[in-house]
């Protein structure tokens, strides 16, 4: 099993896309959030678990809409922020520090499992998808940056030029076609959205 120390120097959210003042970036993030909410609503579930919740932006969106949401992230600093936000809005402590590779699907499961902007950071994506599939009782919602559009947009805004626009910590890179081909080995794809510059997929885990 891959342990946390194999990738604990990987940066997380270097760019606060949810609160950026840039109007173009804000429009793209609005498209991401709209696709995310639409796909979640399509599942008609109430119980959600978010892997890689970060500061809790997506989880808080769902909590405010009446979903029963819990989540986890690798970094304790962002979990503290997520719990502070959740407690301040009256939802209590909802988030824990956990490594995706060490999550026990027997102990942690939900009708819908969300994993957005996480897989591109992981060294063993297949193992992660296997864990996510076992965690999900019914639905899985995942998203990743869409390449090469992601890098092109970074270069256009003058970021990470030395690495040709690759965001630090992104060790996996997929076009929509390649990402869907990867997913097909682990899930049944239900719907695909492509809010610029992401690929977002609603799936059902395969059952043997």
What is the pLDDT, as a whole number, of residue 208? 65
One-character DSSP codes across the chain: ---GGGSTTS----S-TTS---HHHHHHHHHHHHHHHHHHHHHT--EEEEET-TTSHHHHHHHHTT-EEEEEES-HHHHHHHHHHHHHTT----EEE--GGG--TTTS-EEEEEEES-GGG-S-HHHHHHHHHHHEEEEEEEEEEBTTHHHHHHHHTT-SGGGTTPPTT----B-HHHHHHHHTTTEEEEEEE--TTEEEEEEEE---
pLDDT tens digits for range 30-61: 999 999 999 999 999 999 999 999 999 999 99
pLDDT tens digits for range 89-113: 999 999 999 999 998 888 899 999 9
Structural domains in the chain, sorted by start: 17-205 (3.40.50.150)
Residue 6 has pLDDT above 90, yes or no: no
Query: Who has greater pLDDT, 25 or 116?
Result: 116
What is the pLDDT, as a whole number, of residue 19? 67
């Amino acid at each position: 099993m891959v342990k946390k120390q194999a990738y604990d120097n990987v940066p997380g959210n270097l760019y606060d896309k949810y609160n950026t003042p840039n109007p173009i970036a804000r429009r793209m993030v609005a498209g991401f959030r709209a696709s995310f909410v639409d796909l979640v609503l399509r599942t008609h579930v109430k119980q959600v678990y978010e892997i890689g919740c970060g500061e809790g932006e997506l989880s808080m969106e769902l909590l405010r809409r009446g979903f029963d949401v819990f989540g986890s992230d690798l970094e304790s600093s962002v979990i503290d922020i997520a719990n502070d936000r959740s407690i301040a809005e009256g939802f209590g402590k909802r988030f824990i520090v956990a490594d995706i590779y060490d999550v026990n699907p027997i102990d942690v499961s939900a009708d819908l499992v969300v994993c957005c902007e996480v897989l591109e950071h992981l060294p063993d994506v297949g193992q992660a998808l296997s864990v996510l599939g076992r965690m999900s009782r019914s639905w899985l919602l995942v998203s990743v940056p869409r390449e090469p559009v992601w890098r092109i947009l970074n270069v256009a805004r003058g970021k990470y030029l030395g690495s040709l626009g690759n965001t630090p910590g992104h060790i996996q890179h997929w076009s929509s076609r390649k990402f869907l081909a990867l997913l097909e080995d682990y899930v049944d794809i239900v719907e695909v959205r492509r809010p610029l510059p992401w690929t977002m997929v609603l799936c059902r885990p395969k059952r043997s």
